[in-house]
Structure 1
Amino acid sequence: MSEPFIKPFTKAEMDAMRATTRDEEGLKRRFWDKLRRVAGRIPFAEDLVAAFYCATDPKTPSRVKLILLGAIAYFVLPLDAVSDLLPLLGFADDAAVLAAAISQVASSITEEHRAMAREALGEAVSKAG
């Protein structure tokens, strides 16, 4: 079975992700700020937040954390293959990157991570509204 084609990141995207993931507190802050702004417009919000909780869980293996933090960094970065301001298409690239990351580490995202995500999304949406 062949692997599906996934567009490689540009050098600028890779440099930005490295810088973003080195500053974990900054990444967390930017993640929650952006999520509050867009949570109601993205259908993959629960998966994204569950991935965040998995990536920040001390029990999660380093390899899994790295994969998920890369996808989360792509979500928060202002550099995007498709601008988040475009209706319908704006978050398509973010969803694709997240889906690719989750497909690699799905067994590490627990029901506990998902429950925390549902709770956090309820709070984020109520604060944004």
Structure 2
Amino acid sequence: MTTEAPSADSSHYSPDAFKAKLAGFARLAGRQVVEKALILYHTLQRPETPKAAKATIIGALAYFILPVDAIADFLPGVGFTDDLGVIAAALVTIGGYVTDDIRETAARQAAAWFGETPPASLAGSRETFSAEE
């Protein structure tokens, strides 16, 4: 018996669904997954990001949002490894469109969500979103 990984399409992605997923699973997913997902999210928001790159990002974030995927998200230690793989592949694909500003914003947001102090180079005040928005 073979099982296929669920597919993700743009109908599974929305900014609200993304924020809800992060709010509910940030600690379980871990800082690395959260920060990389935030990089994708902020790259998606840029008008300069080409449509093809946005389609890649939406596919990766939709997979992240899906409640059922190749490895169940609630499994401690391994639940988000498939999500991280999909997110990492998307980052490699669209990496040329990720700016230092986006990386800094994502790092600052992830640090705040995990109760960490952001690195000194990230101490500026930039606009971000919170899970409560």
TM over 0.5: yes
Identity of matched residues, %: 29
Q: CA deviation at 1:28?
A: 0.5
Q: Counterparts of 1:90-129 in structure 2 under 5 Å?
A: 90-125=79-114
Report the Cα distance in structure 1 between the residues aligned to 2:67 and 2:77, rounded to whole angstroms: 18
Structure 2: stretches of 5+ with no match in the other structure: 116-129
Equivalent residues of 2:10, 2:58 under 8 A apart:
no
Taking only aligned residues, the RMSD between alpha carbons, in angstroms, comes to: 2.2
Confirm or deny that 1:31 pairs with 2:18: yes
Cα contact 1:13–1:79 (8 A) shared by 2? no
- Please state whether the residue corresponding to 1:44 is helix, strand or coil: helix
1:59 to 18, 33, 48: 48
Give the number of aligned pairs: 112
Residue of structure 1 aligned with 2:70, choices 81, 96, 106: 81
Q: TM-score, normalised by structure 1?
A: 0.75
Which structure has the highest helix share of the two?
A: 1
Which letter does structure 1 place at the counterpart of 2:27? G
Q: Contact 1:36–1:125 at 8 Å: present in 2 too?
A: no
